[in-house]
């Protein structure tokens, strides 16, 4: 890792973001983290993360917003809760990861071509539009936004799945979609209010 990525300066801190993190469910006791690293040692995916769970918790509670929200770590977290189970201070690392994912999508600062956040965002859009997810359109959208070559290499498989009726191109829709949209809009507005306060 380049040296400039290791050094963090006081001036880079966003105190409002730190307060927001600690106001999230599970974030109340982030100050109690003793940086023992047991979460990182337990995490089956820390090897692939740009910041281990221990480092991410430290960056989040200190307000290093850009590093935290644009990290791959929050999207690689598989929500296995191993870190939570082993943490001697009962820090709710997994819940914090969820809060950070929501905030990253809301602020539009997730890694643009990384499939997991793109999938999460498009999944949410489809639910908002139709009330259901159409796997064919979701996969097409995902590959077009993240990896064109992969899309081209999988078109044969996609056609075969559609030809044999395993995947459908036409989206299904639920009845009374407007009611679902009202609920989702209200949740969205609540989240935005919480971030702004």
Residue ranges in contact with ligand SF4 by CB under 6 A: 33-39, 42-43, 45, 53-54, 57, 77-83, 87-89, 91, 93-94, 97
Q: What share of the chain is helix, strand, coil (3-state, %, to 5)?
A: 65, 0, 35
Closer residue to ligand SF4 in complex, CB, 91/142: 91
Angle, alpha carbons 72-64-58 (nearest 5°): 80
Q: Closest separation between CB of residue 99 and ligand SF4, Å?
A: 13
Q: Which is nearer to ligand SF4, 82 or 139 (CB)?
A: 82
Q: Report which DSSP code applies to 157.
A: H
Shortest Å, Cβ 63 to ligand SF4? 17
Q: How far is the CB of 91 from ligand SF4 (least distance, A)?
A: 4
CA distance 43 to 81: 9
Question: What element of type H or E holds 144?
Answer: helix 135-146
Rounded Cα gap, residues 87 and 187, in angstroms: 31
Please say which residue, 29 or 160, places its beta carbon nearer to ligand SF4. Answer: 29
Phi, psi (degrees; rounded to nearest 5) at 111: -60, 120
Q: Which is nearer to ligand SF4, 69 or 82 (CB)?
A: 82
| Rounded Cα distance, 27 and 19, in Å | 9
Give the relative orientation of helices 177-196 and 93-107 as an angle to the nearest 10 degrees: 100
Least distance from C-beta 94 to ligand SF4, angstroms?
4
Q: Please identify, using beta-carbon distances, which residue of 53 and 131 lies nearer to ligand SF4.
A: 53
Q: Are 125 and 94 in contact (CB under 8 A)?
A: no
- The minimum distance between CB 189 and ligand SF4, in angstroms, equals 29
């Amino acid at each position: 890792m380049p040296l400039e990525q290791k050094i963090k300066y006081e001036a880079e801190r966003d105190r409002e973001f730190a307060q927001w993190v600690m106001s999230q469910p599970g974030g109340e006791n982030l100050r109690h983290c003793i940086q023992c690293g047991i979460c990182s040692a337990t995490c089956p995916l820390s090897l692939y993360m740009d910041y281990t769970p221990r480092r991410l918790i430290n960056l989040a509670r200190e307000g290093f917003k850009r590093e935290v929200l644009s990290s791959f770590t929050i999207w690689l977290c598989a929500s296995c809760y191993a870190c939570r189970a082993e943490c001697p201070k009962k820090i709710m690392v997994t819940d914090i990861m969820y809060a950070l994912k929501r905030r990253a999508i809301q602020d539009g600062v997730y890694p643009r071509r990384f499939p997991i956040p793109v999938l999460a965002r498009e999944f949410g859009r489809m639910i908002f539009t139709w009330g259901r997810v159409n796997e064919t359109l979701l996969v097409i959208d995902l590959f077009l936004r993240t990896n064109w070559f992969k899309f081209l290499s999988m078109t044969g498989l996609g056609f075969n799945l559609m030809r044999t009726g395993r995947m459908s191109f036409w989206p299904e829709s639920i009845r009374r979609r407007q009611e679902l949209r009202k609920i989702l809009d209200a949740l969205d507005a609540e989240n935005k209010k919480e971030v702004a306060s």
